[in-house]
Structure 1
């Protein structure tokens, strides 16, 4: 319970103040009742003070000067803070919250992007900001972050929820990131809505089909046709992408400095990886044969698969190879082809090995903390088997393959 203090010293009184008394009272502390006091300094400066008990100790809470608060406003503010104190909460902390300027959602996006983006890849930070500015800010950008409720988020997501389901889910996550960031800075007291609370208020999304993937049983025939055609940077890059189960961007940006011929490894730097962490790929004979071809045609310095101008291949270049072959799958889908093959044809290889081959995180944070190996030897066995299956014509078990000597 709150114990409101009685008579104050220095001329205080329990009689209610009046607007005239507030203006004319002499130096001292003058009571208005229920712990609200007018403090007048010898200089004539006048301010409001609320006195309460919190955790067994007296709290004197400055409410502001009489220039900023009228008597009526001071009483209203005091009544609100007394209510906070009766709940057993800290009235000073509540008063200080009122001093914080609560940003709008649009302003919070800017601040979250500036701070959180320091730990993200440049592309991730750019997508965070651009997706929210496109799909969330128009609907809720002018609303203060402490006023945003589940219904507001639902209204912002509804136009894209079924038409662009993957983007909508990312925008939902980024809205919640922004609200969580706001809560951590004291701009918001309410809990961030749960994803399920938002989903429950929206239509059921169409079943995700993911990236269209080629059935792995069709892969050897497809690669044999590619390998048999005239070499081009995009064609070789696509075959290498398949044989390493890599993301196309990792292959398109790959430099010869990343290749360790002696160790038969591709050491991908952190800034080329989606995870932001370096990753080593054991190279099969088939993958090394593709590198031999690339080195012979384009040299072994700089980009491995440069375009005609010596620059990085475009994202569409590899996809064009698929379209020109009459296929409707995506380049990214070959990672699914690899994962299906590993599950069905290599069941003796642990699940974690195939996931690490795809540069996926394995297990929860605790499990990863205890996993001190990257399972390199097991991944090499898996890579060799994948190369022999997908591209037998350029694998070492055939006698007509002559490996180039590296200097």
Structure 2
């Protein structure tokens, strides 16, 4: 059988029909709908056709294309597979890029530490900072601490939460929220994408029972029934101690324990009968003004305005302020039913709701 004659340069230039045209052994010209023209090298391995692109005709001349085809034929004759080798090299480069990205992505523990460092200045106390670190270290890091943050999904979050979800509901709830925030931070930093598997509103909540319906969920502070508060106040007045005065002040102002213990004389305006608590000491982070009743004013007038230069209303015997337990111990000396100091806020709000016409917001 006579060998086909390779097309000349003029014959190649004359080709206009869209499709693939034979030029010489293994060398083809591909013409696309848009008119683009490129060289292809076609060959067969184990009866299967393979194709290698040799470049566009505007960049590679016919002579150069034939030269490349000649070299590829020699390579194939010697057992090579140019297309397979090219694909293998492409896959290797892709694997290298993936490995480089994986190396650049921080672990969950690294992200958590960065999140804490970025946000702890806005947290109100050392206890909150310590709880953030301890819960993650105790419950999260053993499971996902060393895992790249972009590889953490619903299964990994479940491994962390399931062991304590029913045994320690309050801790589990706090832990979920902290993982949620760390993963959200990592997404914002570009380390991960997609939904947050620890989100309160995500699929996680369909895989775990509601925390509020399980034994061990967070309970409200026990409160003295508001009808019994006058009797408690009468008992407090019989006591002559700083803790009793602080407790009475707390009951009469419906303040939180920390707000009372941190109160200083420069926050009190006796003439205007007003206590202005700065934003830095408020749970909501906003300045709060508390009107002072005549009874509170009388109480304040019985207190020394300075104690060795201490500006606090209720100084402690060996510290600037009373301890967190001082008022509770005073209350326990009056009642043994588990009532808490914080519960007086609930006593007040219940009284206001049931006995007055003021709105709940007021």
Q: TM-score, normalised by structure 2?
A: 0.69
Map of 1:345 onto structure 2: 355
Map of 1:333 onto structure 2: 343
Partner Cα separation in structure 2 for residue 343 and residue 199 of structure 1 = 34
1:105, distance to aligned residue in structure 2 (A)? 1.2
| Structure 1 runs not aligned, ≥5 long | 22-31, 38-70, 82-93, 354-407
Partner Cα separation in structure 1 for residue 161 and residue 98 of structure 2 = 35
Partner Cα separation in structure 2 for residue 120 and residue 7 of structure 1 = 61
Map of 2:250 onto structure 1: 241
Q: Please state if 1:281 is matched with 2:286.
A: no
Question: Which of the numbers 115, 121, 145 marks the counterpart of 1:112?
Answer: 115
1:115, distance to aligned residue in structure 2 (A)? 1.6
Partner Cα separation in structure 2 for residue 95 and residue 139 of structure 1 = 24
Contact between 1:265 and 1:282, CA under 8 Å: does it hold in 2?
Answer: yes
| Structure 2 runs not aligned, ≥5 long | 1-35, 39-52, 76-81
Question: Which of the numbers 161, 164, 173 marks the counterpart of 1:160?
Answer: 164
Contact between 2:109 and 2:141, CA under 8 Å: does it hold in 1?
Answer: yes
Partner Cα separation in structure 2 for residue 110 and residue 311 of structure 1 = 33
Map of 2:273 onto structure 1: 264
Q: Secondary structure at the match of 2:158?
A: helix
Map of 1:102 onto structure 2: 105
Deviations 1:320-371 (A, max 9, x none): 112222241222222111111111112x212221xxxxxxxxxxxxxxxxxx
Classify 1:100/1:228 alpha carbon distance in 2 versus 1 (closer, same or farther; 3 Å): same
Q: Secondary structure at the match of 1:160?
A: helix
Partner Cα separation in structure 1 for residue 225 and residue 100 of structure 2 = 58
Question: Which of the numbers 198, 207, 211 marks the counterpart of 2:204?
Answer: 198
Partner Cα separation in structure 1 for residue 196 and residue 310 of structure 2 = 51
Classify 1:225/1:97 alpha carbon distance in 2 versus 1 (closer, same or farther; 3 Å): farther
Question: Which of the numbers 266, 271, 293 marks the counterpart of 2:302?
Answer: 293
Map of 1:72 onto structure 2: 88
Contact between 1:257 and 1:301, CA under 8 Å: does it hold in 2?
Answer: no
Map of 1:217 onto structure 2: 227
1:117, distance to aligned residue in structure 2 (A)? 2.7
Classify 1:138/1:227 alpha carbon distance in 2 versus 1 (closer, same or farther; 3 Å): farther
Classify 1:138/1:316 alpha carbon distance in 2 versus 1 (closer, same or farther; 3 Å): farther
1:277, distance to aligned residue in structure 2 (A)? 2.3
1:241, distance to aligned residue in structure 2 (A)? 1.2
1:298, distance to aligned residue in structure 2 (A)? 5.3
1:162, distance to aligned residue in structure 2 (A)? 2.8
Contact between 2:102 and 2:148, CA under 8 Å: does it hold in 1?
Answer: no
Q: Pick the structure with greater CA Rg.
A: 2
Contact between 2:149 and 2:183, CA under 8 Å: does it hold in 1?
Answer: yes
Q: Secondary structure at the match of 2:290?
A: strand
Partner Cα separation in structure 2 for residue 103 and residue 114 of structure 1 = 15
1:312, distance to aligned residue in structure 2 (A)? 1.6
Contact between 1:256 and 1:300, CA under 8 Å: does it hold in 2?
Answer: no
Classify 1:116/1:33 alpha carbon distance in 2 versus 1 (closer, same or farther; 3 Å): farther
Classify 1:208/1:130 alpha carbon distance in 2 versus 1 (closer, same or farther; 3 Å): closer
Q: Please state if 1:144 is matched with 2:148.
A: yes
Partner Cα separation in structure 1 for residue 321 and residue 274 of structure 2 = 21
Q: TM-score, normalised by structure 1?
A: 0.62
Question: Which of the numbers 283, 290, 307 marks the counterpart of 2:316?
Answer: 307
Q: Secondary structure at the match of 2:219?
A: coil
Question: How many residue pairs are counted as aligned between the two chains?
Answer: 289
Deviations 1:208-263 (A, max 9, x none): 4321122111111111111122x211111111112111110111111111111111
1:286, distance to aligned residue in structure 2 (A)? 2.1
Partner Cα separation in structure 2 for residue 97 and residue 278 of structure 1 = 49
Contact between 1:14 and 1:33, CA under 8 Å: does it hold in 2?
Answer: no
Contact between 2:310 and 2:320, CA under 8 Å: does it hold in 1?
Answer: no
Moved beyond 6 Å, runs of 4+: 3-6, 10-15, 94-97
Q: Secondary structure at the match of 1:139?
A: helix
Deviations 1:9-47 (A, max 9, x none): 4779987x99xx9xxxxxxxxxx779x99xxxxxxxxxx
Map of 1:227 onto structure 2: 237
